[in-house]
Structure 1
Amino acid sequence: MNLPRRFCLLSFPIICLILTAEFTFAADKINFEPAAINIELPEGLALGPCSAVDFDSKGRMYLFHRGAQPILCFDQSGKFVRSWGDKLIGQAHGLRVAPDDTIWVTDIGNHMVFQFNPEGKLLLALGQAGKPGDSRDRFNKPTDIAFGPQGNIFISDGYGNSRVLKFAANGKYLGQWGTPGKGPGEFNLPHSIIVDAKGRVLVGDRENDRVQIFDTEGNLLEVWTGFAPYGIELDSKGTLFVADGRANKVLQLNAGGKVINSWGKKGKGPGEYNLPHMLATDAAGDIFVTEIGGKRLQKLQRK
């Protein structure tokens, strides 16, 4: 496979009020309910295990699944737009849309990370296809992608390795952190990753049942425990949601990492889950959840 490589005093009460409002919002429960989702699949296509989903600035949805036409694009009405990835993707895992509307995916089958434009053109490939490793230019089943300040890219790597790698927007290697283990700053399957508005890197340390929070240089800041973070997502207001694949639930966390609301249980019905994997929020603040076991995409709509 040939791949490109590019890698005063008056203002004080007002300030207090603003800070209080922000904190209150972060702690408020948000109510959701299951809602129907209608997408027009290509003729003859059945979804495989659904791995990840995200939205671009135009409201187009990109769904990543383990089957033919692995990257599926739909418009805001659910109409099928295009698909790609058949001759490139080994096994779907993470998908995120960057601020510039490019689509990034992790391929745990070929140990690769790819960047595409919205039309499906390959722009950047990181890793060496079919060659797992732990060097700066090889991954071992990388899991997810996050976008940080100055356009930096953070990749959780993942099933075979236990680390986070940092790259410049052009693919230049900038550093890494993490080793296998249960201690602070160590990982047992870093499965999901995201960067918040403060520039902190949140890593879903799945098998250690915790989220670990770092600065962009890998210095540990906080640890939140008590759930299995298969997928993590921030909405436009900074509210954090977790797909707990072990509990078959979607969780809402407060600013301190405590679970304040949850939805779902094991099952096949609306709002029930069979291994919820990754999740995303759209411009309206609704949550979309991908299921590995259920081979479907579900929607939680804000009340």
Structure 2
Amino acid sequence: MIRSDRQNEMPKGVDFLKWFAILTVLIISSISLLGLSVTFEKSWGSQGNKDGQFSDPQGLASDGKDFIYVADTLNHRIQVFDSTGKHQMSFGRFGSERGEFLFPHDVVVDSKGSIYVADSQNGRVQKFDNENKFVKSWGSKGAEPGQFDGPMYIAIDGADTIYVGDAFNQRVQVFDGEGTLLLTVGAKVNMFEAMNPGNLASISGLSVDSNGNIYVSDDIMRRIQKFDSQGNYISNWASTYEGNWGQPGESVVDRFGNLFFINKMTSMILVLDPDGNFLFEWGGVGTTSGLFTKPFNICVDGKDNVFVLEQLGNRIQRFKINY
């Protein structure tokens, strides 16, 4: 269940029954079947364009070294924080030149500290070094190999391979760190064909596990599909979920191979084991700690912390995973 050091305090001016109802929602919405739970630790962020503020943020990543990167979408910039929420730096501005962004949608960081940004409306991926200096970009608007129509999601594996969710082309394109196309998963199909296993109607989330398996959320078909490292279809997890499936959004895989993903309909975070079996869920709609206002992205760091980015709430919440 969700726990907080402040959970037993009675806030001044808050009716007892209202406070009790909030606690009840937090407890009931956190169902742990195998001992897995999370503890709320802290949150940061608000609406605005100053350092540490957000406007419709949609991308979130950890570098595994205590730094959190946010694609602050409507502010057309990347912000960097330490794991406690202290602002470290920002870079980027509105535009289409090198180092500029037009609605950056997602971000990842490789093992050398290089930063890759899904620059959605510019139809490209931009790469920056560990000092936030522009290195290169690749892609343009289109449907040919290496082109993008809505590069809205980006993931990275342990070999620093880059996976780009090319949303409106209904595919995932896989590149090395220099932008060389290695693999494509999915293709443009109609909605009837998109129902078939291995096809994509949409891309609403993207992650990769330590074995190179690729997980693609499809909020139109309301399923998550799993592909191997060569792009071969493995399984469809919609049919195995024991609860309210809803619309799967962004996802991340922890060190044990468990998949954490956002249910866009309920604002819950769900956890599945490596075989797709339901383990745990928490959250719900709200503005108090442990509840979410349109959660959009999620990441984990190397210390068993999970971070949830709220698009409309304009904040990040950090939780400790208790295994």
Q: How does 1:39-78 map to 2 (within 5 A)?
A: 43=50, 46-68=53-75, 70-78=77-85
The 1-side partners of 2:204 and 2:45 are apart by: 27
Residue in structure 2 matched with residue 10 of structure 1 by the alignment:
none
1:278 aligns with 2:287: no
The 2-side partners of 1:29 and 1:297 are apart by: 25
The 2-side partners of 1:301 and 1:39 are apart by: 19
Select which of 136, 148, 156 maps to 1:147.
156
User: Per-residue displacement from partner, 1:56-110 (whole Å, max 9, x unpaired)?
Assistant: 2321111222233621112344332211111411113122222332222212222
| TM-score between the two structures when normalised by the length of structure 2 | 0.77
Select which of 246, 250, 255 maps to 2:274.
255
User: Per-residue displacement from partner, 1:108-127 (whole Å, max 9, x unpaired)?
Assistant: 22222122223211223121
Select which of 179, 183, 200 maps to 1:171.
179
Residue in structure 2 matched with residue 35 of structure 1 by the alignment:
41
Q: Which moved more, 1:197-206 or 1:245-254?
A: 197-206
Residue in structure 1 matched with residue 92 of structure 2 by the alignment:
85
**Cα 1:85–1:29 shift into 2, 3 Å:** farther
Q: Secondary structure at the match of 1:109?
A: helix
Residue in structure 2 matched with residue 209 of structure 1 by the alignment:
222
Identity of aligned residues (%): 25
Residue in structure 2 matched with residue 112 of structure 1 by the alignment:
124
Q: Secondary structure at the match of 2:58?
A: strand
- In the alignment, structure 2 segments of 5+ residues that lack a partner are 1-32, 95-99, 239-244
Q: Secondary structure at the match of 1:190?
A: coil
Q: How many residues align?
A: 273
- In the alignment, structure 1 segments of 5+ residues that lack a partner are 1-26
Aligned residues of 2:246 and 2:264 also touching (Cα < 8 A): no
The 2-side partners of 1:125 and 1:230 are apart by: 26
What amino acid maps onto 2:42 in structure 1? A
Q: Secondary structure at the match of 2:200?
A: coil
| TM-score between the two structures when normalised by the length of structure 1 | 0.82
**Cα 1:75–1:274 shift into 2, 3 Å:** closer
User: Per-residue displacement from partner, 1:142-164 (whole Å, max 9, x unpaired)?
Assistant: 12222347543221111x21011
Residue in structure 1 matched with residue 252 of structure 2 by the alignment:
233
